[in-house]
Chains A and B, each alone.
Chain A
Amino acid sequence: MARHVIEVRGLTKTYSPHRAPVRALDRVSFTVDEGQFVTLVGPSGGGKSTLLLILAGLVESTTGEVWVDGEQVRGPVPEKIGIVFQDATLLPWKTALANVEFPLDLRHVPRGVRRERALALLEMVGLQDFADRYPHELSGGMRQRVAIARGLVQDPRIVLMDEPFGALDEQTRTKMGQELLRIWEKTRKTIFFITHSLTEAIYLSDVVLVMSPRPGRILDVMPVDLPRPRRFEMMGSEAFGQARNRIWKLITEGEG
């Protein structure tokens, strides 16, 4: 039995800006095993991103707790968790290399060490020839790959990804999915991935967590029984179609 690298217990988040409190998450509990690729799928505007920020220790939950690697999360844990956002959030005045180095720079890692590490990661995401390009000189897919390299540079055990390919066209998106699986198989990180694309969720994951519209509840924890490595043709298979239908049904029924 693999150990739980992420454990979430009874997480509830209520925002109370002025008058009416808004409940974003409602009693969310789940576990993620070491090295698993887990996807959280659900409608836009649900509590998905909130959940990710709570896992990362960037937002406090109203009730409930998050345990990562045997320790309760009470603030950012950069040495354990890497984060990749949609639209990459790269710093526009820094080159691809300097962007990947940035987290190490913040922690005063010596220049030679961080350069070597960043170059190795750029090579892994296939951008070794673009190290001195600026973000505006890179395509959307390339920028996202730089962001993935940046998320991995502190060698965290867990990488949280919030719709990292959401802004890409479908072709690039599918390619990036395959690329991510390759990186995942190579690094054996635990990946917690958010998307609203059912296809993407099933194609990438070991387990799909299905979340309801606001307030976000986990409707189902669905293991994906597709062999690895995943191939593009599998998207047309019967098992894939069934998984898709099941999630679709859960989400639409959740709307009431």
Chain B
Amino acid sequence: MSRTQAVRIGGLAAALLAWEGVSRLGWISPIILASPSAVLAAIRADGGVFLQAFEVTLAEIAIAIALAWSLGIGVGVAAGSLPRLGATAGPLLSSLFAIPLIILYPLFVAWVGMGPASKILFGAASGFFPIALNALSGVRCLDPRFALVARGMGATTGQIFFKVLLPLALPAIISGLRVGTSLIIIGVVVTEMLASVGGVGFLISYHRTMFNTGHVYLGIFLALLAALLVNRGLSHLEERFGRWRILEQTRA
């Protein structure tokens, strides 16, 4: 174990101890601040339920990501490379992005019900706009000569799209994915808290009304864990595909 790791673990343990101590001393109401032991108790009592809910939430996030990424990148890159489509779709996308989508959530529930489908729909919708907008501007900002050179080399329209424009716009697309994906996670968890029958958000909301603060904390930790997992995946993606852009910037 390295020195920094030791310091980190020691610091974490100290913080947990202090937290437990403060709760035990009774200075702060356990409804406001649950102790680590209360969280442990929640795990012992309802760990299985929470794990199941965590799986539901992760699955909803995964499907919403798949939808928002593919549609967002597809629409954005198409609108960015076809000037006429971009002129219409661009302003439309930005104005829709400005609307707080949550006002549409009751409609989504009416359409597809209280189950996971409405969370997926809402999550995907919240992620779609920033992803599409970033992809659009990423493609639109490219030097038009890249496409010209490729066409002069004999590239087909499909080759220009997949072998030149898409990879060139990738760094911009990935930064859109960062913003969009965090909105997807927020969207899924928040709608689980609103009108729902499952998922981590539902459990947080349910136990809050029961004043089971330990359970609420457990739910919060799981929601954070979901966000951390997704973030890890994104960083990996960024490292893999966006590296040349970072290298290029450090040169300048």
Residues of A within 8 A of B (CB): 53, 56-58, 76, 78-79, 81, 83, 85, 87, 89, 91-93, 102-103, 106-107, 134-137, 154
Contacts and interface: CB of A to CB of B under 8 A. Distances in A.
A9 B149 CA distance: 24
A78 B149 CA distance: 10
B150 A106 contact: yes
B40 to A, nearest CB: 48
B175 to A, nearest CB: 16
A56 B159 CA distance: 19
A78 B146 contact: no
- Nearest 3 CB-CB pairings of A with B: A78-B154, A103-B153, A136-B248
Given A92-B245, A106-B163, A136 B150 contact: no
Given A85-B145, A106-B159, A91 B168 contact: yes
Interface of B: 143, 145-146, 148-156, 159, 163-164, 167-168, 244-245, 247-248, 251
A135 B146 CA distance: 15
A89 B247 CA distance: 17
A250 B146 CA distance: 34
B151 A76 contact: yes
Query: Secondary structure at chain A's binding surface: helix, strand, loop or mixed?
Result: loop
B163 to A, nearest CB: 7
Contact of B248 (A89, A92, A106, A154): A92
Residue from the set A53, A79, A81, A83 with the largest chain B CB neighbour count within 10 Å: A83
Given A106-B163, A136-B251, A93 B244 contact: yes
A134 B152 contact: no
A93 B167 contact: yes
A107 B150 CA distance: 11
Contacts of A137: 251
Contacts of B146: 89, 91
B164 A136 contact: no
Contacts of B150: 106
A136 to B, nearest CB: 4
Given A134-B247, A136-B247, A136-B248, A91 B164 contact: yes
Contacts of B155: 106
A207 to B, nearest CB: 23
Contacts of B148: 53, 58, 83, 85
Contacts of A83: 148-149, 152-153
Contacts of A154: 153-154
Given A57-B152, A89-B145, A136-B244, 4 more contacts: A79-B154, A92-B244, A93-B167, A106-B155
Nearest to A135: B248
Contacts of B153: 76, 78, 83, 102-103, 106, 154
A106 B154 CA distance: 7
Nearest to B163: A106
Contacts of A79: 154
Contacts of A89: 143, 145-146, 149
Contacts of B149: 83, 85, 89
B2 to A, nearest CB: 33
A58 B151 contact: yes
A115 B20 CA distance: 66
Nearest to A56: B152
Contacts of A91: 146, 164, 167-168
Nearest to A85: B145
Residue from the set B143, B148, B156 with the largest chain A CB neighbour count within 10 Å: B148
Contacts of A107: 154
Nearest to B242: A93
Contact of B244 (A57, A102, A106, A134): A134
A219 to B, nearest CB: 27
22 contacts: A56-B152, A58-B148, A58-B152, A76-B153, A76-B154, A78-B152, A78-B154, A79-B154, A83-B153, A85-B148, A85-B149, A89-B145, A91-B146, A91-B167, A92-B168, A92-B245, A93-B167, A106-B153, A106-B154, A107-B154, A136-B247, A136-B248
B245 to A, nearest CB: 7
